[in-house]
Amino acid sequence: MEQKMQEKIGRKPVRRVVIAGGGTAGWMAAAVISKILGKSLDITLVESDEIGTVGVGEATIPSLIKFHQLLELSEADVMKATQATFKLGISFENWRNVNEHYIHSFGVTGTDHWTAGFQHFWLKGRKRGLAGDFGDYCLELRAAQHGRFAHLPDGGMNYAYHLDATLYAKFLRKFSEGFGAKRVEGKIGQVLTDAATGHVAGLKLENGALVEGDLFIDCTGFRSLLLAETMGVEYEDWSHWLFNDSAIAVQTESVGEPVLLTRAIAHGAGWQWRIPLQHRVGNGHVFSSKYMDGEEARQILTNNIQGEPLTQPRVIKFKPGQRKQSWKGNVVAIGLSSGFLEPIESTSIHLIQRNLIRLMQMFPADGICRSDIDEYNTQVQSEIKHIRDFIILHYKVSNRVDTPYWEAARNMTVPASLQHRIDLFRETGRVFRTEGELFTESSWLQVMLGQGMMPEQHHQTADLMGDVELSQFLNGIRNGIEWTVKQLPSHQAYLQQYCRAQPPQPI
């Protein structure tokens, strides 16, 4: 009865939206809310120049293209403003084993039959000596290997971006302010709550200003000032599956043309990223402090960068996991305040985007209701658990046992949902994708095969093809891809023609 009474009291129209915190999450929130509902809402974003942002989310996945389309943004303008380059996938180096590499691309590999995926025909071809590498049958993967790119008709090339996250936030700030969003400078000193409902009523800034609202978007980063500290939402810790809890980041000068891949280079207790922009490179070392101390991790990073450092290395501490609720009362957490999975598959910005789209679809204009909150939280939890499993896969099925870190990862007990996928593929060669899941069957296949998993059998449909027919089928796909790749310009040439950015101004 008391809960129903509180909900009834809390059902008031939402006319004032307050976004606590800036950065990528805050300004993405401001952009989408102001663009869609700016004429009917008062939108205020509170941030302080004194508080830095994580700002290293520089690798994205193809879903960001849809986000920009929803906002009616010019792709070329975004890329120029953020010094962006194109990305066709991730190069995993030393993951399967030391000195063994593979690529997880954004493309679809081969051609499926309605009864069986392409992998079954490829497996049959490998057994008969008729097939090349699995990646030979993927356009995006082969284009990345050759350093070639262009937009193709009818979305014929799946791609994403490498971009400067700080510049991206600045670009979206200007965009949002054009649709009426207001920025208030200041540090949040106190979060005020309504005694009757328990909802957040306002933010008291250290300079004395008060910012009141009806709906609050928590973009305060790992601290999660509103959802965790004020609303008391607990954290579900996933560090028993995802060992990494630290990162060291540094920017360096470019020493060559930008590649079309995020490089993920495995080391003894973690991995290193290299993300090429038009005028610099983002670098970092993600590692487990349980298996490696910070100084050793820093030394590994500085020994494995190319080009002169442009910044001092900075340390980022995190705990992999997710808040048990992302929406409670009148607070919705977006970005790091909701949870964090390490950046191995570049999903951080995607999760910001997806949760903002969910919020817009369930926007409580006439008042917040329990059914919306429950549905939102269910969808958020479902999606991030699928992504979590995919990330754990990279560690669980590695062949590396050369360090305690990799040996522990190989021997750990994984979620039952992931173990089922591993067993299914190993025994039958089959993969599946649930509705709404981010990663496709092709993604699971590329990582499983890339990490060294080989199925025990293939589907009998592949046996209906004789050697000549199977060879013609496989060669037709591969030859078509090679012909297309040869027609593409170099990545560098295409950047210069399509979205050349001005060199950054010295500070």
- Residue identified by tokens 């997710």 is 322
Among positive and negative, which fits the CA dihedral 292, 296, 298, 303?
A: negative
- Amino acid 3: pLDDT: 52
Cα distance between residue 152 and residue 138, in whole Å:
15
- Whether residue 54 is predicted with pLDDT greater than 90 in this model: the reply is no
Paired with 48 in beta bridges are: none
Cα distance between residue 211 and residue 40, in whole Å:
18
Cβ-in-10-Å burial (0-12, 13-18, 19+) of 279 comes to middle
Question: What is the token pair recorded at 351?
Answer: 């999760």
Helix (H, G, I), strand (E, B) or coil at 283: strand
Percent of the residues in the chain that have a pLDDT greater than 70, as a whole number = 96
Cα distance between residue 482 and residue 474, in whole Å:
13
- Amino acid 433: pLDDT: 87
- Whether residue 12 is predicted with pLDDT greater than 80 in this model: the reply is yes
The contacts of residue 201 (CB under 8 Å, 6+ apart) are 192, 193, 194, 212
Paired with 286 in beta bridges are: 247, 271
Give yes or no for a contact between 384 and 351, defined as CB atoms under 8 angstroms apart: yes
* DSSP designation for 205: E
* pLDDT tens-digit series, residues 139-160: 999 999 999 999 999 989 999 9
Amino acid identity, position 312? Q
Q: Are strands 210-212 and 16-20 parallel, antiparallel or unpaired?
A: unpaired
Cα distance between residue 334 and residue 224, in whole Å:
9
Please state the rounded mean pLDDT for residues 369-397. Answer: 96
Q: Residue 49 CA to chain centroid, in angstroms?
A: 26
Cα distance between residue 448 and residue 393, in whole Å:
8
Please state the rounded mean pLDDT for residues 240-267. Answer: 96
When pLDDT is cut at 50, 70 and 90, the band that residue 10 belongs to is: very low
Instruction: Tell me phi and psi for residue 262, to 5 degrees.
Output: -75, 130
- Amino acid 8: pLDDT: 45
Helix (H, G, I), strand (E, B) or coil at 142: helix
Helix (H, G, I), strand (E, B) or coil at 366: coil
Catalytic residue among 8, 12, 80, 87: 87
Paired with 182 in beta bridges are: 44
- Candidates 340, 351, 341, 343; CA nearest to 273 is 343
* pLDDT tens-digit series, residues 416-472: 999 999 999 999 999 998 888 999 999 999 999 999 999 999 999 999 999 999 999
The residue count for the chain: 507
Cα distance between residue 468 and residue 12, in whole Å:
70
- Candidates 409, 413, 479, 417; CA nearest to 451 is 409
Helix H or strand E segment including 373: helix 370-396
Other residues' Cβ atoms within 10 Å of the Cβ of residue 442: 24
**Structural domains of the chain sorted by starting position, each given as residue range(s) with its CATH number in brackets:** 2-82+163-238+320-386 (3.50.50.60), 107-160+403-491 (no CATH)
**Is 39 a residue of the active site?**
no
- Amino acid 50: pLDDT: 77
State the chain's maximal CA–CA distance in angstroms: 79
- Amino acid 2: pLDDT: 44
* DSSP designation for 263: E
Give yes or no for a contact between 179 and 35, defined as CB atoms under 8 angstroms apart: yes
